[in-house]
Structure 1
Amino acid sequence: MKVYTNKEDIRKAIAKFKSDGKHLGLVPTMGALHEGHLDLVKKACKENDKVAVTIFVNPTQFNNAEDLEKYPRTLDTDLKALEALDTDNIMVYAPEVDDIYEGQTTSESFDFDGLEHEMEGKFRPGHFNGVGTVVKHLFKIIEPERAYFGEKDFQQLAIIKKMVKKEALPVKVIACPIFREPSGLAMSSRNLRLTPEHKKAAPFIYKTLKTVRSKFGTESAQNISAWVQEEFAKQPLLELEYFVIADTKTLKPIEQIEPQKAYRAFIAVYADDIRLIDNIALN
């Protein structure tokens, strides 16, 4: 497994590889790899001749400097996890910030047709401009045919699909199901920072979402939202930031259920200073 830290080097390797007519997939990550990431890599390996895994903590998508500083960086462990997959078709791109941004660590300004203003966008100003910027950079460096993203970050996934369409980028975005711990907690690199007490409390998030799914269609969205707020008010170790039932295409909060539309419940919760997000399909 070859590890590249310079974009020119990996571009040369990819150009040689593509000249043989082979297919390339991409799994972008910020490192601290867990089984969810590895599941994306396994899927990508099945569907492509070669897979580029990027490991890069992108500074422009953090609106909280402390969160950026505390974000886990475990490159050596990540590389061992990828090597343990026992496949010859993985290459890794683990650059420094300047290799991506060339001294201009700023975000491009995007118009995602309003997707960026809902949910995460309301609580993390500039976040999706940072996401769009780094993903666009990675797509142009790696030039994959397919790119794989998990549905835990469903809003991010929708925004990347929108960017690909509006920018006419030649890549197919593949959505992959949320990978969960045995407790039901959605796997996240931030889970590494949870204390034992918070790790024990956090599965309540998914338990709540499953109950929301059972209530959907028989109770109003307003009543469900009120119930969720009441339930989290009883949790001393968890603080609800937001809960939204939204149309999966527009990400706008539900007004009334329409049979032809798909809906999803989205949630963000703080466990001490660690922010956890999750979502579930409702119909």
Structure 2
Amino acid sequence: MIPSPFRFSSVILVTLSLAAPQGLTPGLQGEYWGPGTSIPGAPGIPGGSPSLTRVDATVDFSDGTFPAPFAAADAFVVRWTGFVLAPVTGPVTFFTNTDDGVELSVNSQVVITDWQGQAPEDNQAVVAMTQGAWVPIRLTYFEDGGGAECHLSWSYGTQSRVVIPTSNLSVTPPPPPAAPTLSISTAPSSSPVINLSWTAVPNATAYRVLRGSQSGTEATFVTVNAPATGYVDTAVLFQVTYFYVVQAVVGAQVSADSNEVSGRPQALPPRTEKKGSEDEPCGCGTTRRPGTAVLAAGAAALLLLCLRRP
């Protein structure tokens, strides 16, 4: 029995970034159930283990080109999983063309669902990506009866619609990003403050700053969006020691912790008032002691009084 129609498409944003690493397994893992299996009424896979598991270089199958024993069979389900490398920064349009039903998920978000028996049918969804991003991808397909078609393609920029190539697909996940190197500064200040800086990690989308009161107790404190490579922590107290590590966030992946640093905010030293010297300049090239002018004025007044006395 052909499942009832179950169909939608959507537009999502995926802002991930990761340089293409070496040592990946090109293609996608294909898991095949059937032939002659019961087709789920909603997007999904049959119960039990797949009857065939293999790596497919691309998803580009027509009637008679599926692997044996599915090449000329009916009632089977296939699920392809792995990672797709974003070709550009900007909108990328994903296309499916299937006979019969399909569901496509990008970065764990379903973007196309057309789960029904049908002649070859196009569906599409726009995904905003960052060049170099390895994005998780899953495509589930069923063939109920008659012809069988399943094609996964894309277009972007000046690139017209083309089957997603093997070089942009990987069964295995990309390696984690490198950890940044963290530095700290606690120069004396009128207000408690700790300055953190770290080395940039290629294609990082953000950095997690972790803080703790003791070594090894750090927990996520704040997230700093790339390309910034520093943070000023003002939520601190004088003469209290704080410990920090930083993690790089590259797409859906997080690096190991950076090196640990610690710091204690330092207050500016107290200001000291400058006291007057014993000898003060009098403006006539000499010096006088404090009170000299008063004494001199008093002596002059006494002398004047004596001169006026008969």
The structure richer in strand per residue is: 2
Q: What's the TM-score, normalizing by structure 2? A: 0.21
The structure richer in helix per residue is: 1
| Structure with max Cα Rg | 2
